[in-house]
Every structure is written in C-alpha cells, then in structure tokens.
Amino acid sequence: MPTAARTREGRDLTDSLTALQVKRTADLDRSTLITDIGVVGAAAARWRAGRRLMRRIPLKQPMPNGTIETWQLGYLLDVILIRDPWMHRVDISRAVGRPMVLTADHDGRIVADVVAEWAGRHGRPFTLLLTGAAGGSYVQGTGGPDLELDAVEFCRILSRRAVGDGLLTEFVPF
C-alpha cells in the first residue's frame, strides 16, 4: 500500500498525505464515509491516548513571519488537527456557496480555543465580541480595543485567509 512518504513527488508531506487520502476515499459514498469516520476516529482517539511520551516529541514549525516555533506532537494532534479540518470546512462551504451549519457546542469550542491562543500569543488587553452561532464574549485586561466581528471571520483573519489590523494581525496556526 502506498504511503504519503513514498508518494511525495517533491510535495510537502502534508500535501502528499492529503492527496493520498483523497485518492483512497474518492469513490466512497457518503454513508460509507460517515461510518468510516466513526470507526477511524474512535481508533485514532484510543491510539493518541496511549502515546503519552510520544506526545512530547518536539516539532519545528516555520511560522509565516519567518520564525520557527517548537511544538509538541500532542499540540499538533490535539489542536492543529482539529482546527485545520474545521478551517477547510469553512473554505469548502465558501467555495461551493453553501452556508456552514454552526453550533455553539462544537464550533464555539473551536473558536474559544482559538481566542485563548490568540490572547496568549499577543498578551495585550482587549474586549472581543464574536457574533454568530460559534461566537461569544471575551475580555483580557482593561484598556484595550473593543473588537466585534463574526466568529468565523475572526478565525479566517487569524489564519491569514483574510486581512485584519491591530491585534488581528496576530497569527494563530490552523
């Protein structure tokens, strides 16, 4: 069976892995994909839970500003691999012209996590009102700017899919 590393063909490993996954699942119908996600997701969660030491492995990650951050593998598995597909869901819904169905329970948790990391990265005071089903109100310190925008647009800006100014120039990885 081909692996992403063997089929890389000069591409980034992540792009190669994505291409391989698309190729393997392209002919599956919707109900099969949904069933497979349930099976694979549960197995992946069990696998991750049993790899405590491995989760501490450091990974060097280039940032858009040219710096290099050191992430632990656990951060990649638990945070980035949740945010990334979520943001691709945003991209796809926009590309096909269909609205995203958002919930506070699911999407709101992802957005709240992004807000927490964004606040920690810039460390400055703010009052933030995010609108929409995934939104919420957030405050850090006093005397900072008052910001109000759609929760999904907030994430698009922080991921550099849209342009922001002031505190909204702080990049958050997705």
Q: Which domain holds residue 142?
A: 51-169
Note the pTM of the prediction, 2 decimals.
Answer: 0.79
pLDDT at 116: 98
Say if CB 173 and CB 167 are below 8 A apart.
no
The DSSP 8-state label assigned to residue 132 in this structure reads S
Residues 19 and 61 in one domain: no
CB 116 within 8 A of CB 106: no
What is the reported pLDDT for 146? 98
Domains identified in the chain, total number: 2
Using CA atoms, how far residue 145 sits from 50, 78, 135, 141, 154, in Å, is 43, 31, 18, 10, 15
Q: Could you list the mean pLDDT of each consecutive 10-residue stretch along the chain, which spans 174 residues? A: 56 75 88 89 83 88 92 91 94 94 97 98 98 98 98 98 97 96
Q: Say if 174 falls within a structural domain.
A: no
What is residue 51's predicted lDDT score, i.e. its pLDDT? 81
- The answer on 159 and 89 residing in a single domain is yes
Q: Is the distance from CB of 167 to CB of 145 less than 8 angstroms?
A: yes
CB 141 within 8 A of CB 160: no
Q: Are residues 40 and 58 in the same domain?
A: no
